[in-house]
């Protein structure tokens, strides 16, 4: 037994070397000892498109059209159309109507259109709901709105006012029809009703828009049942310091076309207010805030205020809540 095992040792020793050369073929050796020449490689298959000129096809250029110097011109993106492509007409031949009841399918398609673009939604939002600490007597201020409708048409309710421990100093409510006239702009028309300092009813027309750098702007003109013409312009921007901490500068300007002694309003730029508020969004729809505001009465409005024993300007430290649902 030992003799056959000893005879197998050279074969086992040479097995790794043979495995390394497995699959390698050597040229046959001629009887004279020299290797035979390799057989010539078969010619490549003919190109079925050889000889065809595709230079007239879109996006294809013939080799002769290449720029001088051998540098191929870089192919950029296709040109962007200078106008919006109109939507294709809706289909009228519905294959499902051949299988199911056409009336049932019409109801299903109407529901689909309503849920995808025609849905009616609503929101109630308190932009400002705050307590104001200031010299001469603390006060409060509110500014909110609610709306119901779709992407194009909405019913909007607005309310704004302020007061102190003696009661409401100024207060108003608006009922408006809002129509989207642009990608970021809504036109609004409706009625405004003042409850303080004098009860007045106004025809209202205004707008809301989003300006570059995410500036939210709005404005309005008001014609009262007494013939008084008022104007207003507002703007605000949110600066996100973190995902939850937002700093908001805010400005409001009020105008009048004439003096209105009954409401202590002077013509021209009657008053303005600047505010800076820092809010923390516990949730997106619930955000307490602190800040500071500076208000100034101008022109005849300041004269009316001094006559009533009030200052022409005041600074307030505010703490409040911004919320929506």
Summarised one tens digit per residue, pLDDT across range 14-60 is: 444 444 444 444 444 444 444 444 445 555 555 555 555 555 555 45
What angle is formed at CA 141 by the lines to CA 239 and CA 277, rounded to 5 degrees? 20
**Residue-level pLDDT, tens digit, the chain, 325 residues:** 444 444 444 454 444 444 444 444 444 444 444 444 444 555 555 555 555 555 555 545 444 444 454 444 445 556 655 556 777 888 888 889 889 999 999 999 888 887 777 788 999 999 999 999 998 889 999 999 999 999 899 999 999 999 998 899 999 999 999 999 998 999 999 999 999 999 999 999 999 999 999 999 999 999 999 999 999 999 999 999 999 999 999 999 999 999 999 999 999 999 999 999 999 999 999 999 999 999 999 999 999 999 988 899 999 999 999 999 9
CA distance 52 to 63: 12
The half-sphere exposure of 200 on its side-chain side, counting CA atoms within 13 A, is: 21
Phi, psi of 191 (to 5 degrees): -130, 140
User: Please, are residues 239 and 250 in contact by the beta-carbon 8 Å criterion?
Assistant: no
CA distance 256 to 235: 19
Q: What are the angstrom distances between the C-alpha of 325 and each of 124, 145, 285?
A: 6, 11, 7
């Amino acid at each position: 037994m030992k003799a056959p095992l000893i005879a197998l040792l050279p074969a086992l020793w040479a097995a790794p070397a043979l495995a390394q050369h497995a699959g390698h073929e050597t040229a046959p050796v001629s009887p004279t000892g020299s290797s035979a020449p390799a057989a010539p490689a078969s010619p490549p298959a003919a190109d079925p498109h050889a000889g065809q000129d595709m230079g007239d096809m879109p996006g294809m250029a013939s080799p002769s059209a290449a720029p001088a110097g051998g540098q191929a011109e870089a192919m950029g993106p296709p040109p962007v159309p200078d106008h919006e492509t109109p939507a294709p007409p809706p289909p009228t031949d519905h294959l499902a109507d051949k299988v199911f009841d056409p009336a049932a399918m019409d109801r299903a398609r109407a529901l689909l259109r309503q849920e995808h673009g025609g849905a009616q939604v609503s929101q109630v939002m308190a932009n400002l709901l705050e307590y104001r600490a200031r010299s001469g007597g603390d006060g409060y201020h509110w500014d909110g709105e609610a709306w119901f409708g779709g992407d194009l048409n909405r019913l909007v309710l607005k309310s704004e006012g302020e007061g102190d421990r003696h009661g409401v100093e100024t207060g108003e409510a608006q009922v408006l029809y809002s129509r989207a006239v642009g990608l970021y702009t809504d036109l609004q028309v409706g009625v405004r009703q003042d409850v303080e300092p004098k009860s007045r009813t106004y025809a209202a027309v205004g707008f809301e828009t989003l300006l570059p750098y995410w500036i939210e702007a709005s404005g309005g003109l008001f014609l009262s049942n007494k013939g008084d013409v008022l104007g207003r312009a507002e703007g605000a921007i949110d600066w996100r310091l973190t995902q939850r901490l937002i700093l908001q500068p805010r400005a409001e300007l009020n105008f009048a076309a004439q003096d209105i002694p009954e409401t202590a309003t002077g013509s021209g730029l009657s008053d303005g207010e600047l505010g800076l508020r820092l809010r923390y969004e516990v949730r997106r729809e619930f955000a307490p805030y602190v800040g500071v505001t500076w208000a100034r009465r101008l022109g005849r409005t300041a004269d009316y205020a001094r006559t009533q024993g009030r200052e022409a300007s005041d600074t307030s430290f505010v703490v409040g809540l911004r919320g929506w649902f």
